[in-house]
Amino acid sequence: MSQEQATRYPLVLVPGMLGFVRALLYPYWFGIVPALRRGGAQVYPVQVSPLHSSEVRGEQLLIIIEEICRRTGAEKVNLIGHSQGALSARYAAAKRPDRVASVTSVAGPNHGSELADHLERTAPGDSAKGRILKAVLHGFAVLLGWLETGWRRDPLPIDVHASHQSLTSAGVALFNQAYPQGLPEVWGGEGPAEVNGVRYYSWSGTLQPGRTDQGLNRFDGSNRFCRLFARSFVREKGHCDGMVGRFSSHLGQVIGDDYPLDHLDIVNQSLGAVGKGAEPVRLFTEHAARLKAAGL
């Protein structure tokens, strides 16, 4: 077996909003986990509350980190978070830098999501539209939990409102005041590569103009949804992945921010049916090699 991705510390993959490890036969990180393991990496995709605040999910992650360290004998872990998972990873690193070697944000809304802001304006929680949306999301989260674990006596807590507020620009601004590690000082710039002994990295994608240029796979349904969501963007109009803006995603060392990948394809959703020229699995295997080279 190859050892190209055999990092010093285990890789912990943290999902985003409505995330899971495996719903029935469908893995959240489609093709990514086996590719990393073939390269010799210890990889742990984990489950936190599908809908809750970044802080609550971060506290759950801290418990998981301790368990992984106990099981493996490792002193630290490398956290890779997709979407809201990046915020929860940042929280864990800020609280326990002694347990975290690196944080990597993959399409993380590190300055908030304009889609969340749009929903805050058009479907506030006390409106009829907002109550319907809340009920639908709550039901979907419960279903995902059942598909992954079956009925359990201790289901993970769900809070749709807290989840939504954690993703708005205002909500993330408050989060950033408390946990600023790795954030750029200038909009669109890079943040400190290392804070308190923790390395920070990020990458993200953008919707490319036109179907021909995008090289879309006709089975890639997520791209159609993301193009619809992208209409809500104002500040980063034309520079987003459908849910997160290009510059909003920046954290620490920016590996890339314009890969031809929408918000779900960047973790190889749609069963890997991404557009031509897009290689989300390669981004993860290359990053594992990067972490290994850095002694992480």
DSSP 183: -
Query: How far apart are the C-alpha atoms of 252 and 268, rounded to whole Å?
Result: 23
SS3 68: helix
Catalytic residue, candidates 232, 263, 265, 287: 263
Listed residue (289, 252, 294) closest to 86, CA to CA: 252
* Tokens 């409505």 belong to residue: 18
Query: How far apart are the C-alpha atoms of 45 and 31, rounded to whole Å?
Result: 12
* Tokens 């077996």 belong to residue: 1
For residue 176 the two structure tokens come to 């950033």
Annotate 207-230 with DSSP letters as a single string. PPSSHHHHT--TT-HHHHHHHHHG
For residue 212 the two structure tokens come to 């021909």
Sign of CA dihedral 9, 154, 59, 85: positive
Instruction: Tally Cβ neighbours within 10 Å of residue 239.
Output: 17
CA atoms within 13 A on the CB side of 274: 23
Catalytic residue, candidates 241, 257, 262, 265: 241
Catalytic residue, candidates 49, 53, 54, 83: 83
For residue 194 the two structure tokens come to 């290392």
Rg over alpha carbons for the chain, rounded to the nearest Å, is 18
Instruction: Tally Cβ neighbours within 10 Å of residue 39.
Output: 20
* Tokens 């989260």 belong to residue: 141
Annotation says 83 is catalytic: yes
* Active centre residues (catalytic): 83, 241, 263
